[in-house]
């Protein structure tokens, strides 16, 4: 499995992210219209994708996790209470 750069995103995962619409195909086509080599286009998109991933983790996901932890503490939710069966409720 090939990996690259700072984010170490495997090549197959990059393809998946491209197909999920994180990097739109129109962007690639605009880069192709600049007569850039495929290798250069792939490098540009990879760098952008790695930056996006790092920013998503730092600015969105990490803050979401911190808020969730705070909310759980405020509401007395622990690992033990999550495992405890609710009375009168059947799954």
Provide the residue ranges of all domains of the chain, joining segments of one domain with +.
Answer: 11-83
pLDDT at 32 over 80: yes
| Segment 1-31, tens digit of pLDDT | 444 444 566 766 766 666 567 777 788 888 8
Q: Which DSSP symbol is given to 14?
A: H
As a whole-number percent, the residues of the chain with pLDDT over 70 amount to 73
Question: Is the sign of the CA dihedral 86, 89, 90, 91 positive or negative?
Answer: negative
Average pLDDT over residues 29-51: 86
pTM of the entire structure? Answer: 0.49
Q: Which pLDDT belongs to residue 2?
A: 45
Q: Which pLDDT belongs to residue 4?
A: 46
Q: Which pLDDT belongs to residue 8?
A: 66
3 state DSSP class of 25: helix
């Amino acid at each position: 499995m090939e990996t690259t750069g700072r984010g170490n995103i495997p090549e197959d995962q990059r393809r998946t992210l491209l197909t999920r619409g994180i990097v739109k195909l129109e962007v690639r086509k605009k880069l192709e219209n600049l007569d850039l080599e495929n290798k250069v286009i792939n490098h540009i998109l990879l760098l952008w994708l790695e930056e996006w991933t790092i920013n998503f983790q730092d600015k969105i996901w990490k803050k979401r996790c911190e808020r969730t932890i705070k909310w759980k503490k405020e509401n007395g939710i622990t690992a033990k209470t999550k495992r405890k069966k609710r009375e009168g409720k059947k799954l």
